[in-house]
Amino acid sequence: MQSFNVPSRHLATLNNLDRWSRPAFRRLLFVMVVCSTVSGCQDSVPPSDSVVVYGRRGLGDARFQKPRAIAIDDEDQIYIVDMTARIQVHQVGGEFQRSWRTPEFKDGKPCGLSFSNDGLIMVADTHYYRVLFFTKTGELVESRTIGGVNGRGPGEFGFVTDVVQDTQGNYYVAEYGDYDRIQKFDAAGKFLFEWGGHGSEPGDFLRPQGITIDERDFIWVADASNHRIQVFDATGDSAIFIQSWGTPGSEVGQLRYPYDLWLDGKGHIYVSEFGNNRIQKFTLDGKSLGTWGGPGREPGQLHQPWGMCIDSRGMIHVLDSYNHRVQSFFWNEQPIRTSESQDPLAN
């Protein structure tokens, strides 16, 4: 894997297999080897045994209530927040490690997770209009909190969706509601500038749900309700529009409520589509390379996925949110399937 010095949840780092759930890995590897020898396996819906699935609805350890955000650290530990405001930590394969809750959650739950340059987990505390910082063991670092006031002014927020940090230490915080913008802060949390606004023109947003950052420090935005991806160069004193792609629909190459996105450092971007119940792989200029998933509750099917991450071996981990579980798989280099969409507003 090409390595970029970008300390973000969206670029994996190399680790060893000791951090795997070994039984799950051996089982998955065996099935993948068998699959590669069977005619027609590559272009079909993946068999259930090729997918690692863990979690079900509940309040206990390794149980979820509509998980909403996912991040992965440099040791391939997976962090997941759900509708109970619990942040749970698992090994790849699903082995539960530990958990904690955000300090307040009566008004609503977080919907974004990522990592800071110094290894703290950053939580988009959506309905409390702020970004919280925790150690990997769940200790709140109050001095690092950004925001906390609802409003339209500099440093104030609507509903915070996601946050990333660039190589210079600057933070970028996305929000939706009446605001639909991204704000930039310096390493000390001081407001620098903002861009966006409610709309559908280039540079506007309708719920910028997920953001990520590439090796140039360009900001990639999952502009969910505009059904598109936008890219900006915000390294200077303002944000410069670079490109936008995506049209609404359920065909391959189209998007329907993209909620999260992940750069693999190899010239590809993966998009989690809440509205199409799938993961779609693209080139960086928006050419589709195939999809995975489709509506349903069986392994290999998804029900309104909110987020995803990729570990150091290239395994993809998807929040199958309305099925209250996580599904993990290796992407087949052939397009996997075309799925029919399911209207997320019909439920």
The first and second tokens of residue 145, run together, are 């909190």
Taking residue 90's Cβ as centre, other Cβ atoms within 10 Å add up to: 23
Taking residue 244's Cβ as centre, other Cβ atoms within 10 Å add up to: 17
The string of pLDDT tens digits covering residues 179-235 is: 899 999 999 999 999 999 999 999 999 999 999 999 999 999 999 999 999 999 999
CA atoms within 13 A on the CB side of 195: 20
Question: Would you write out the chain's pLDDT as a tens digit for each of its 347 residues?
Answer: 333 334 344 443 333 334 444 444 444 443 343 333 333 333 334 444 589 999 999 999 999 999 999 999 999 999 999 999 999 999 999 999 999 999 999 999 999 999 999 999 999 999 999 999 999 999 999 999 999 999 999 999 999 999 999 999 999 999 999 889 999 999 999 999 999 999 999 999 999 999 999 999 999 999 999 999 999 999 999 999 999 999 999 999 999 999 999 999 999 999 999 999 999 999 999 999 999 999 999 999 999 999 999 999 999 999 999 999 999 999 974 444 533 434 433 33
The string of pLDDT tens digits covering residues 267-297 is: 999 999 999 999 999 999 999 999 999 999 9
Q: 258-263 and 240-245 as β-strands: parallel, antiparallel, unpaired?
A: unpaired
Q: How far is CA 202 from CA 114, 172, 206, 228, 244, in A?
A: 26, 19, 11, 10, 7
Positive or negative: CA dihedral 75, 267, 214, 281:
negative
Measured at the alpha carbon of residue 91, what is the angle toward residues 89 and 92, in degrees to the nearest 5? 125
- Residue from 184, 187, 209, 335 nearest 272 by CA: 209
